[in-house]
Chain A
């Protein structure tokens, strides 16, 4: 175990979110946001104990194939069809510290862009050996990895001819509920990225680039699977110095 495992738990409030970096709630190019965006200002509050704490999940919840989407839904001896890839990276906070014990959950379409969901009606076929969900927990240095097939792009009813770029959805738990994050990972070089109304809900190009995983040739396994590296940054937290002092003391 690294010394990090012995580090005192942190109890400071999180850095405020930069809401100009994140997408605003109302982004009319993404039509569904029009009726699902609050119109009144958010009530700002420095984190209380209700937000600086959060659930932490033990490795005991994980099954052997939870981080292997090629096999976790496949019949014995079979595997999902598509480009075999490894997605790996680190979960860090804004201070660059690793976030150990972070639960990551991911979901995606199959190689043809078809999701296994009853509300999905795209005519591309389901892959009988692909479910599309997986999860893992970061190790003591914040590293994670999983194996999957590269998802295909798919059309969606927004504009007349809108297509999502190939993407994998990520859900992340840090150590505090205020760090809770859902995002999407895109693939280096995909020309669809810059046409997408959901990607373009984010105004800052650098924030979009942070969602694009580069091809990681160094970690590609010859004759098996290519690798993409995707690091995730969660909110940092302040030192706890002086924070326990009551007002007026």
Chain B
């Protein structure tokens, strides 16, 4: 006999369902008066350091139809490449930037939108710099476990070409699914859940 490892099992994920807005963005769906404002709707203030950018996009199903009931969250470094998190050991992040945003896809057009800043570069585990990127997490009715992916910038071709994560994408034509279109200050990032244009999703 040996000792049991004694680890617990992670609580299993379940879909966020069609009414995720009630809990995560109640003001968006007309439930006023409970919270002052929906969390994650404002990422930047006048004091935030860095270059202002706008990210917008849609989440599309296997037929190319935009989801109008998805919820998207993003997580990113500040302009200096530091995360506003207790696990950030490399320095103190910009206190005027939380790095986290949340936006439902529009009930009419299926578009999500974030007003944020362009993140600085952060290192991969072996010290190589990663290209500037924003982490995305997508939940919706029909999605059993939240999907993680990343958005890279189209005007960072040189950095993208050396990015340790992008270099690991075996089918090179799929790298483009992780790179936004448009240009400073407005970027567009469509996320394809399924099919030929399927976005690369991560198990991280």
Question: A35 touching B34 by the CB < 8 A rule?
Answer: no
Question: A183 touching B19 by the CB < 8 A rule?
Answer: no
Contacts of A181 in B (CB 8 A): 10-11, 13, 146
Q: Is the interface of B mostly helix, strand, loop or mixed?
A: loop
> What's the minimum C-beta distance from B8 to chain A, rounded to whole angstroms?
5
With A33-B144, A54-B87, A117-B29 as given contacts, are A45 and B203 in contact (CB-CB < 8 Å)? Answer: yes
Question: B16 touching A169 by the CB < 8 A rule?
Answer: yes
Question: A120 touching B137 by the CB < 8 A rule?
Answer: no
Q: Which residue of A lies closest to B128 (CB)?
A: A247
> What's the minimum C-beta distance from B38 to chain A, rounded to whole angstroms?
10
Question: A183 touching B12 by the CB < 8 A rule?
Answer: yes
> What's the minimum C-beta distance from B11 to chain A, rounded to whole angstroms?
5
Out of B87, B137, B198, B200, name the residue touching A180 (CB < 8 Å): B137
Out of B31, B39, B88, name the residue touching A49 (CB < 8 Å): B88
Instruction: Report Cα–Cα, A25/B99, bound state, in Å.
Output: 28
Question: B201 touching A247 by the CB < 8 A rule?
Answer: no
Out of A54, A232, A236, name the residue touching B75 (CB < 8 Å): A54
Contacts of B14 in A (CB 8 A): 23, 169, 182-184, 198-199, 201-202, 211
Question: B23 touching A169 by the CB < 8 A rule?
Answer: yes
Instruction: Report Cα–Cα, A56/B19, bound state, in Å.
Output: 24
- Which residues of B61-115 have CB atoms within 8 Å of chain A's CB atoms? 61-63, 65, 67, 69, 73, 75, 77, 83-89, 98-100, 107
- Which residues of A122-176 have CB atoms within 8 Å of chain B's CB atoms? 131-135, 169, 171, 175-176
Question: B12 touching A72 by the CB < 8 A rule?
Answer: no
Q: Which residue of B lies closest to A26 (CB)?
A: B144
Instruction: Report Cα–Cα, A183/B203, bound state, in Å.
Output: 18
> What's the minimum C-beta distance from B51 to chain A, rounded to whole angstroms?
19
- Which residues of A19-77 have CB atoms within 8 Å of chain B's CB atoms? 19, 21-25, 27, 30, 32-40, 42-57, 61, 63, 65-66, 72-73
**Is A116 an interface residue, CB under 8 A from the partner?**
yes
**Is B123 an interface residue, CB under 8 A from the partner?**
yes
Question: B22 touching A55 by the CB < 8 A rule?
Answer: no
Q: Which residue of A lies closest to B14 (CB)?
A: A184
Question: B10 touching A39 by the CB < 8 A rule?
Answer: no
Question: B200 touching A94 by the CB < 8 A rule?
Answer: no
Interface residues contributed by chain A, number (CB under 8 Å): 94
Question: B12 touching A36 by the CB < 8 A rule?
Answer: no
Instruction: Report Cα–Cα, A92/B142, bound state, in Å.
Output: 27
Out of B39, B139, B142, B204, name the residue touching A32 (CB < 8 Å): B142
Interface pairs (22), CB distance under 8 Å = A10-B87, A17-B203, A23-B145, A33-B143, A36-B61, A38-B147, A38-B198, A43-B201, A45-B168, A48-B125, A55-B75, A63-B34, A94-B10, A96-B8, A107-B23, A120-B19, A131-B26, A169-B16, A171-B16, A182-B13, A210-B11, A233-B11
Q: Which 4 A-B pairs have the closest CB atoms?
A: A107-B23, A32-B142, A36-B142, A53-B85
New A-B pairs, 17, CB < 8 Å, besides A50-B75, A63-B36: A25-B145, A35-B62, A49-B125, A50-B83, A55-B85, A56-B86, A117-B18, A117-B21, A117-B22, A169-B19, A175-B87, A176-B87, A181-B13, A182-B20, A211-B14, A234-B11, A235-B10
Q: Which residues of B contact A (CB under 8 A)?
A: 6-24, 26, 29-31, 33-36, 39, 61-63, 65, 67, 69, 73, 75, 77, 83-89, 98-100, 107, 122-127, 130, 133, 135, 137, 139-148, 150, 165, 168-169, 174, 193-195, 198-204
